[in-house]
Structure 1
Amino acid sequence: MNLQNIISEIEKVDPEVYDKLDTRRNTMKKFADISKKVALASIPLAFGSMFKKAYGQTSTEVNDVLNFALTLEYLEAEFYTNIVGSPGYLTAPAPAQGALTKIKNDENAHVAFLKSVLGAAAVTKPDFDFTGGGGSGTGPLAGYLAIYAVQLAMAQVFEDTGVRAYKGQAPALLGKRVELTAALKIHSVEARHASHIRQMRRGLDAAIPASQKPLKPWITLNYSGVDYPPANTAINMSYAGEEIVSQAGVNIVGIGGNAYIDDKAASESFDEPLTTNEVLAIVAPFFA
C-alpha cells in the first residue's frame, strides 16, 4: 500500500486528517521532501512521526476539557438532587416537580457518562455551597431550599451558563469526533433544560424584572430575566457578552433590509460562548 492509499484509508476514518497534518498538497510535498533526504528504511519512522505530531498531543487537552465539563455537571447534578424533595420544591405543581426530577436524572446521567469516558482520569466531585458563599453556607442564596422561585432562578442561570460553557469548549475538541459529538449532544440537552426552566419561570411570574416580562425561552441581549437583589451582580456575569449583534463581522441588525430585525432579535438569533476563566469566575462562589 503506497503513501497516498494509506492516507486515503485514514481519511475514511477521520475526514479532518489533512487539517491536522496540513493541507493535502502541503502534506504530500512535505513527505516528498522528507523522502529525498532520508534513507528508504527511515521513511516509516518519518511517516509515523508526522502522524504522532498530529494525533499524539491532544489527549491531555481533551481530558482537561472533559473534566471541566464533568465538574460543571457535578455542580448541576448535585443542585437538582438537593432541591428535589426540598420544602420549596414541594410547593411546586406536580408537572413542575416532574420536570425538575427529569432534569436531575439527566444531569446525573451526564455525570455518569463523562466519568465512563474519562475512566481513571476523571476528577473527583468537589464540595459545593449552593448559597453562593464559597463554603460559608451563608451566601446570598442561603434560603434557596425553601423558596421555589429562587430554585428556578438558580436553575436557569446554571443551565444558561452550562450551554455557553460547552460552546466555549467545543473548539478544543475539534478533530476528536467521538468526544465532540458526545459534548454537543449534552450541550443540546442543556439548552432544552434552559428553555424549559425559563418557561416554568414565565408561568410562575416571580423574580423577573418588570421590564423583561414576559420572560422568553431564550436569552435577549444581556438580560438575565432574574431579579433577586442579593445576587443580581453575580447573576449578570452569566449573561455578559450576549448583547453582541454582529457575527463574522456582519451586523445582523436590519440585515437584508429587514427593519424588524432590531438589536434584540439580532442578539436572540445567536448564542455566545464563555471562556474557561469566565465560567470559573461565575461558578466559584458555589464551591466550598
Structure 2
Amino acid sequence: MEFIKLFNSFNTDNRSEEEVDTYMSRKEAFKKLGGLTKKVALASLPVAAFTVMPKMAFARAHDVIAVLKFALTLERLEYQFYIEGVNSGIISSQHQNVFMAIREHERIHVELLEATIQSLGGSLDGVPSMFDYTADGVFPSPFGNYQLFLALSQAFEDTGVRAYKGQAPNLMENDDLLKVALQIHAVEARHASQVRRIRGRKGWITEEDYDGIDGFGSTFMMASSAVYAGEKNTMHVGVEVTDVTTVPVMAVREAWDEPLSMQMVVDIVTPFIVS
C-alpha cells in the first residue's frame, strides 16, 4: 500500500522517549464546543504566512513534509468520518452542533496542511483520501449505531492527540510549523475531551481505556487497545514521577498523554484506509 511505503521511507521516529515527550499538559475541554464555530477561521490564518516563507528556511524539509503528510492523513480520516457522521442522521440532535463544529475544525486542518505542504514544494501524492470505517467489514458501520460512532470518534481523536505529540520533536527546528502543529494538537485534545464526556467518561485517558474501548465486542476492544498503548507510563525525562511525589500512581498516569510513534499510528489507521 502506498500509504505504508510513504511513511516507512520517511519515518523520523528515532528519538528516545525522553526526547519525544514535550510536556504538553492536559487541559479541560470546552463545555460548549459548539460556540467555537465563530472562532475556527482563526486557525487558517497561518496559511498566508507559510506561502511567503523562503523554502530554504526549512531545515530537514524532506522529513518535515513527511510529518505534514502523516498529519494530513489523520485529518482527512477524521474529516471524512465527521462528514459521513453528520450526513447519516445518526447523531443525536442534542450533539448535532458539537459534531458540526468538529467537522468544521477538521476541514480547516485539512486545508491548512494541504496548503502548507504545497507551499513547501511538496505534493499531496500518496496521501490517502478514501476510507472505510468498517475496516473492510471487520466492524459494523458506525453510521448505523450512534454509540459505536462515538466510540470510534473517541479512538480517532485520542489517536490524533498522541500522534501530534509524537511528531512535535520532528518540527522543533521550525518554530512556525511547530506552533501550528501544537495548535492543532490542542484542538484535537478538546475534541477528544468533549467526545469522551458525551460518552459519560472523564475528559482524559483513564484506567478504563488501557485495554481498549469496551462494549462493542472483543475485536473492537483489541483493535482500540493500540490507541492507548503506553498510557500506563509514569517515567518522564528519566525521572520516575511516583518517586518524587505523593500523588497516587493513577493520577500520575493520567497527568500526561503519551506520544505515539508514526509506525504505531500507521498500524492503527491502516485498516480504515482504502486509497
Normalised by the length of structure 1, the TM-score is: 0.70
TM-score, length-scaled by structure 2: 0.73
Contact kept, 8 Å, 1:77 with 1:104, in 2: the verdict is yes
Q: Name the structure 2 match of 1:169.
A: 167
Structure 1 Cα separation of the partners of residues 87 and 131 of structure 2? 18
Q: 2:155·2:227 contact (CA, 8 Å) conserved in 1?
A: yes
What are the Cα deviations for residues 230-280 of structure 1, in whole angstroms up to 9, with x where unaligned?
A: 411100000010011121222223633x2xx22210101111100010000
Q: Which amino acid aligns with 1:109?
A: I
Q: Alignment length, in residue pairs?
A: 212
For residue 131 of structure 1, what is the aligned residue in structure 2?
A: 134
Work out the CA distance in 1 between the residues paired with 2:240 and 2:66: 35
User: How far off is 1:139 after superposition?
Assistant: 2.1
* Aligned position for 1:252: 241
CA distance in structure 1 between the aligned counterparts of 2:266 and 2:191, rounded to whole angstroms: 21
> Would the alpha carbon gap of residues 278 and 125 (structure 1) be closer, same or farther in structure 2, given more than 3 Å must change?
closer
Deviation at 1:223, TM superposition (A): 5.0
**Cα deviations by residue, 1:119-149 (Å, 9 ceiling, x for unpaired):** 162425432111012xxxx221x23111111
- 1:1-288, aligned counterparts within 5 Å? 58-89=60-91, 92-94=92-94, 96-119=95-118, 121-123=122-124, 124-133=127-136, 138-140=137-139, 142-202=140-200, 215-221=201-207, 222=210, 224-229=212-217, 230-253=219-242, 255-256=244-245, 258=246, 261-288=247-274
Residues 213 and 225 in structure 2, CA contact (< 8 A), matched pair in contact too: no
Q: Which residue of 2 aligns with 1:36?
A: none
Gaps of 5+ in 2: 1-55
Indicate the SS of the match to 1:121: coil
- Contact kept, 8 Å, 2:212 with 2:226, in 1: the verdict is no
**What letter is aligned with 1:280?**
V
The 8 Å contact of residues 133 and 141 in structure 2, kept in 1 or not, is answered as: no
SS of the equivalent of 1:84 reads helix
Fraction of identical pairs, as percent: 37
Higher relative contact order (CA 8 A, sep 6+): 2
In structure 1, what residue type is equivalent to 2:222? T
Distance in 2 (CA, whole Å) between partners of 1:87 and 1:146 is: 9
CA distance in structure 2 between the aligned counterparts of 1:181 and 1:110, rounded to whole angstroms? 13
Work out which of the two has the higher radius of gyration on C-alpha atoms and give 1 or 2: 1
Q: Return closer, same or farther for 1:73/1:220 CA change in 2, 3 Å cut-off.
A: same
Structure 2 distance, partners of 1:105, 1:127, is 18
* Structure 1 residue 226: Cα displacement: 3.7
Per-residue Cα deviation, 1:87-117 (whole angstroms, up to 9, x for no partner): 422xx133x1110110001001100011111
- The structure that is helix-richer by fraction is 1
What are structure 1's unaligned runs of at least 5 residues?
1-53, 203-214
Structure 2 residue matching 1:281: 3-state secondary structure: helix
How much has 1:56 moved relative to structure 2? 6.6
CA RMSD for the aligned pairs? 1.8
Off by >6 Å, runs of 4+ in structure 1: none
